[in-house]
Amino acid sequence: MSNREPSRALLVTGTVGAGKTSAAEAVGELLADAGVPNAVIDLDWLRQSWPTPPGDPFNLEMTLRNLRAVARNYWDAGVERLVLAGVAETGEERERYREAVGVDLAVCRIRVEIPVVHRRLERRHEGQEADLRWHLDRSGQLDRILTDAQVEDVVVDATDLAVPDVAAAVLKAVDW
Ligand SMILES: Nc1ncnc2c1ncn2[C@@H]1O[C@H](COP(=O)(O)OS(=O)(=O)O)[C@@H](OP(=O)(O)O)[C@H]1O
Ligand SMILES: Nc1ncnc2c1ncn2[C@@H]1O[C@H](COP(=O)(O)OP(=O)(O)O)[C@@H](O)[C@H]1O
């Protein structure tokens, strides 16, 4: 019999520019520091194909297919904790992500005050006018969607936290 704890997954969610990707990467580093076999997946990379099907602007169906395959590979390789960075707008989407990873899925939302998000986006998309405009508009809109939907188990307020502190707060919030 194995002494291994059951495998678990975590979705780090939040509006565009909230710091999902940065936090998820830092969570992976903390887990590695603690000797826990883990993998981090930025869901954005699992949906970067063109064109997207009609009615599926964020390529959700392809994201889920890719995630199912990649997660299985990681579990087979001995990963014990899978950390995802991405957006689940509804409880139904959350359930589809859980089904795709095939294990318990905790969801932690990173909440950052919108003016701070805007400043970060202005830096990240410097010199890319159209991209910046889209992200600035979407950040407030998606923040409201996530606030109303309450898809998450826990929220971490990361407005004043540096990335490693966000990661530590996320791990504490989900009790990992
Ligand atoms: N519902 C839903 N599902 C999936 N993804 C969502 C959704 N809503 C918004 N987003 C966010 O949309 C952002 C688009 O990122 P892209 O890299 O594809 O676009 S772009 O190249 O920057 O224009 C990318 O933003 P960032 O979070 O800032 O990376 C996605 O996370
Ligand atoms: N806690 C933080 N403090 C300061 N800047 C941050 C923090 N987290 C992320 N950033 C920066 O803000 C921008 C958005 O972060 P990113 O991880 O890409 O967010 P998301 O994946 O939610 O779009 C990036 O330029 C990143 O370097």
Q: How confident is the model at residue 1 (pLDDT cuts 50, 70, 90)?
A: very low
Establish if 3 belongs to a structural domain.
no
Establish if 98 belongs to a structural domain.
yes
pLDDT at 4: 67
Rounded Cα gap, residues 18 and 20, in angstroms: 6
pLDDT at 6: 82
pLDDT per position as a tens digit, 85-103? 999 999 999 999 999 999 9
ipTM: 0.92
Give the total number of structural domains in the chain.
1
Nearest ligand to the C-alpha of residue 21? Answer: 2
pLDDT at 123: 97
Which residue has 């678990």 as its token pair?
8
Establish if 153 belongs to a structural domain.
yes
CATH code (residue 139): 3.40.50.300
How would you class 37 by CB atoms within 10 Å of its CB: exposed for 0-12, middle for 13-18, buried for 19 or more? middle
Q: How confident is the model at residue 66 (pLDDT cuts 50, 70, 90)?
A: very high
Is the beta carbon of 95 within 6 A of some atom in ligand 1?
A: no
pLDDT per position as a tens digit, 159-171? 999 999 999 999 9
Which ranges in 35-128 belong to alpha helices (H)?
60-76, 91-101, 114-124
| Domain hosting residue 148, numbered range | 8-170
Residues having CB closer than 6 A to ligand 2 are: 14, 16-22, 85, 120, 123-124, 158, 161-163, 166
pLDDT per position as a tens digit, 98-133? 999 999 999 999 999 999 999 999 999 999 999 999
Q: What's the whole-number mean pLDDT along residues 57-66?
A: 98
Establish if 175 belongs to a structural domain.
no
pLDDT per position as a tens digit, 24-43? 999 999 999 999 999 999 99
Ligand 2 geometric centre to CA of 105 (Å): 23
Rounded Cα gap, residues 72 and 158, in angstroms: 31
Is the beta carbon of 87 within 6 A of some atom in ligand 1?
A: yes
Establish if 176 belongs to a structural domain.
no
Establish if 1 belongs to a structural domain.
no
With 90 as the cut, is the pLDDT of residue 136 above it?
yes
pLDDT at 3: 59
